[in-house]
Structure 1
Amino acid sequence: MTPLTIRPAVMPDDLDTFNSFSYVLNAEIAKDLAAGRRRPEWLWLALRGDQVTARAAWWSRPGDEHPLVMDILDVADGHFADGVSLVRAALPTPAPEFTRFVAPDWQRSGDDTWMRVLEECGAKLFVERLRLHWEPGTPIAEPSGRLAFRAPRDADELIEMMTLVLDGSLDAHSRDDLTRMSPRECAEEQYRSELERYSTPRDWWRVAELPGGEPVGFVIPAHNGYNPIIAYIAVLPGHRGRGLVDDILAEGVRVLAGQGVPRIRAATDVGNVPMAAAFARAGFRTFERQVDLTW
């Protein structure tokens, strides 16, 4: 058998070689490299002669020193061991979370070589998420009159509400963060590492209030560099169960639709049944499922 070679990809010379596997993210690789979301040393190949037997890649937000997530792993049929060798050789320490996009009706099967390789390397299933899509022309609910909306007064007001909504959260990542940090620390970390870094206008963000001025929740419409998104939506604990999420989500959609966007994307955990139902009522459809594994 031809000896196995494991090495980082050389860009742009190896771009076609790296993309010899078919996957939804292939079209984004070159743009991600140009934007600083990927680095050549974060893209790896396993080869036997000229045959690519496995590939792996990591992603970050622009400017990050270390990769945030491993989001590509493909293994050729009959080369399970090469996939394991590649992951063991290339995996950073500490190992970032792994994410893969699969069909909306995905169920695990023995054909998921990528998952078996990761588990052989010590990864475990963490959560499945629904990836959601809204298209222009989909009806947007008219304001009910129950709520008024305004931009957050400042970062501290939003962080305080983010802290409160962690009480009873059904989001797996938030619940996991709470095993290591206080609610305030979790909220500050998410604000600084994610929300603060969106380049889209802060005046898109909305706090929802009752007529008397009491805040009941918020929504963060944004653009993540790929798509317009509902980045965060929440109802404060004391106001849940009253259908207010529908009003808040409709406002977020209204903000983005007013910008003439070609689509809106969102995501929620499969286990967050109330939020998934709210997105469905708002006209979002599930176009993919996301599978996350951790070490």
Structure 2
Amino acid sequence: MRIETPTPELLHEAATMATASGTGMTSVQIETEIAAGRLQPQWSQVAIDDTGQVIGRALWWGRDHQTPIALDVWDVMAGHAEAAKVLRALLERGHAILAARGVPVPLPHTMRVPVAWRDAAAVAEEVHTKIVEAAGVGLGHHNERRQFEWVQGTPVTSPSPRLRFEPADDDTFISLFARAAHGSLDVMTRRELATTDALSLAREEVGYYRSCPGDRDWWRLARDKRGAIVGIAIPSATPTNRNVGYVAVLPEHRGHGYVDDLLGFITAFHAASGAERITATTDAVNTPMAAAFERAGYQCVETRIDLER
């Protein structure tokens, strides 16, 4: 076996490789990202056996065509006897190449698996192997998340009369993000607060949402009839569809069902723009948010397991 940076032709060949359990991105999705320049040969590594067949791939992803920010595809060919060895070798060489280019590694990776992945032995084994091998190269944290989806034709709840939504500047949103972080069920927020303060974390999160494809003018804070700010609703987008970016009820207003109003605003906002599909993600442990998605007509379509340092 050898690991190498692929040519454009070899990258396309790797896109069609049959994976061990049919998890992750489809060949069509990978080809779409290659065509858009978000997956590039120089950010990629492939494993090739003695017959010249592609048996593994590690493809890093970048939004701006300039530098990768995540490991998007990391797989071994179906039925390979040394999957763990191939997976580790792909990351080790990939990290060495990227580090030489000044990229801070390891970059995070998200495994996309079926909702009931624990019930499928092959998928469960793959998840376990990847968690172990990723931890060996610095991606020691993992977090399970639920991917939800709303599709055109699903009923949209009328906006709640008990809240009004209005725009605000970045400083206001930074302040509100910091307040919302306290008592959050979001796993990454809780981890970050163990090493940084809420205001610094809020600045980073506002910067992140500003970098997303969604329009900054979509962002809203929500006030009740007395004028008190009760939460934040940030409609956003991915490169391929509309997205529920950020929903948060401030600590002093939790427990009154406002999450339904905030999510309802975002759903109606995107639906009014003709969105055919709205995606959303929440941590598996955040059962109140998952329940809110279900009440709003979203279906859980996938589980995602984030591997991070």
Q: Which residue of 2 aligns with 1:228?
A: 242
Q: Which residue of 2 aligns with 1:272?
A: 286
Q: Which residue of 1 aligns with 2:60?
A: 58
Answer yes or no: is the 8 Å Cα contact 1:8–1:45 preserved in 2: yes
Q: Secondary structure at the match of 1:41?
A: strand
Q: How big is each residue's C-alpha offset from its partner over 1:90-113, in whole Å with a ceiling of 9 and x where there is no partner?
A: 235531222111101111766333
User: Which stretch of the first structure deviates more once superposed, 48-57 or 129-138?
Assistant: 48-57
Map residues 1-295 of structure 1 onto 2, 5 A cutoff: 4-22=1-19, 23-48=24-49, 49-62=51-64, 65=67, 67-76=68-77, 77=79, 78-80=81-83, 81-91=85-95, 94-107=105-118, 111=122, 112-113=125-126, 115-121=128-134, 122=136, 123-124=139-140, 126-151=142-167, 153-192=168-207, 194-295=208-309
Q: 1:79 to 1:52 in 2, by over 3 A?
A: farther
Answer yes or no: is the 8 Å Cα contact 1:75–1:113 preserved in 2: no
Q: 1:107 to 1:284 in 2, by over 3 A?
A: same
User: Which stretch of the first structure deviates more once superposed, 20-29 or 129-138?
Assistant: 20-29
Q: 1:199 to 1:294 in 2, by over 3 A?
A: closer
Partner Cα distance (1:61, 1:149) in 2: 30
Partner Cα distance (2:17, 2:43) in 1: 17
User: Which stretch of the first structure deviates more once superposed, 283-292 or 16-25?
Assistant: 16-25
TM-aligned CA deviation for residue 83 of structure 1: 2.6
Q: 1:63 to 1:215 in 2, by over 3 A?
A: farther
Number of residue-to-residue matches in the alignment: 289
Answer yes or no: is the 8 Å Cα contact 1:129–1:291 preserved in 2: yes
Q: Secondary structure at the match of 2:39?
A: coil
User: Runs ≥4 in structure 1, deviation > 4 angstroms?
Assistant: none
Partner Cα distance (2:110, 2:227) in 1: 40
Q: Secondary structure at the match of 2:196?
A: coil
Q: Secondary structure at the match of 1:40?
A: strand
TM-aligned CA deviation for residue 210 of structure 1: 0.9
| Identical amino acids, percent of aligned pairs | 32
Answer yes or no: is the 8 Å Cα contact 1:18–1:45 preserved in 2: no
Partner Cα distance (1:247, 1:220) in 2: 13
User: Scaled by the length of structure 2, what TM-score is found?
Assistant: 0.86
Give the unaligned 5+ runs of structure 1.
none
The structure whose residues are more often helix, as a share, is: 2
Q: 1:117 to 1:266 in 2, by over 3 A?
A: closer
CA RMSD after TM alignment: 2.1
Q: 1:257 to 1:209 in 2, by over 3 A?
A: same
TM-aligned CA deviation for residue 227 of structure 1: 1.3
Give the unaligned 5+ runs of structure 2.
99-103
User: Scaled by the length of structure 1, what TM-score is found?
Assistant: 0.90
Q: Secondary structure at the match of 2:162?
A: coil
TM-aligned CA deviation for residue 25 of structure 1: 4.3
Answer yes or no: is the 8 Å Cα contact 2:33–2:39 preserved in 1: yes
Partner Cα distance (1:149, 1:82) in 2: 51
Q: 1:36 to 1:178 in 2, by over 3 A?
A: farther
Answer yes or no: is the 8 Å Cα contact 1:75–1:114 preserved in 2: no
TM-aligned CA deviation for residue 135 of structure 1: 1.3
Answer yes or no: is the 8 Å Cα contact 1:43–1:55 preserved in 2: yes
Corresponding letter in the other structure for 2:148: L
